[in-house]
Amino acid sequence: MFVKICGITNEDDALLAVAMGADAVGFVFAPSPRQIAPSRVRDIISRLPAEIVTIGVFRDEHPARVVEVARTAGVHGVQLHGHESPSVVREVMEHVRMVIKGVVAGSVDAGRAETFGTRFVLVDAPAPGSGRVFDWNLAAEIPGGIDVLLAGGLTPDNVAAGIEQVRPWGVDVSSGVESAPGHKDPVLVRRFIENARSVHTTAREPRSGEPRGPRPGRPAPYDWQDD
């Protein structure tokens, strides 16, 4: 189970997430209580292990600006969490190796997720960051052949149930492991990752030629150390 801890605002929380076993950390560049400057993100990333996936989160930003900020920050990939069209997503994909498209559960975009051209789709609640859980049955509307990241109101207490029902490729959490907006709680982070990894689901077999992640038998988006 791929685990992403999002809304990282400081080095200590990034290192905490890594130490607890997270595969990825996310940095919010969109307007948010958790917004962080690209230059600060670059400093934090320089202190992380090379195999940790780093993602920048944007919302309805111009594609050129997304690429510019991603390069300045040095993130491996981006998450487009607004109303971006398939053409915008594809334009960003020409310059960024990993693009996650965020969609609202039950929306038109969720039902046509394959048109965005990326294999990674994050399914969220109607109000991202609200800490509210959506009806997980709606995740079934995502077309096949897409790696789904489940988000929206996940906590250490419900992540296992969400994984059992949705069987996603990965999970994403921000407010559900915080003591305050932008500040992660070590106990909650540890419990979230442990509970996410406790669920025994049928593993997705990597596609032909797809590299596996740093932990044996677990697929990763790609081998970051090829860069």
Residues with active-site annotation: 6, 124
Asked if 120 and 99 touch (Cβ cutoff 8 Å), the reply is: yes
Asked if 92 and 66 touch (Cβ cutoff 8 Å), the reply is: yes
Nearest to 25 by CA among 67, 56, 68: 56
Tokens of 220: 């990763």
Q: Measured at the alpha carbon of residue 60, what is the angle toward residues 172 and 70, in degrees to the nearest 5?
A: 65
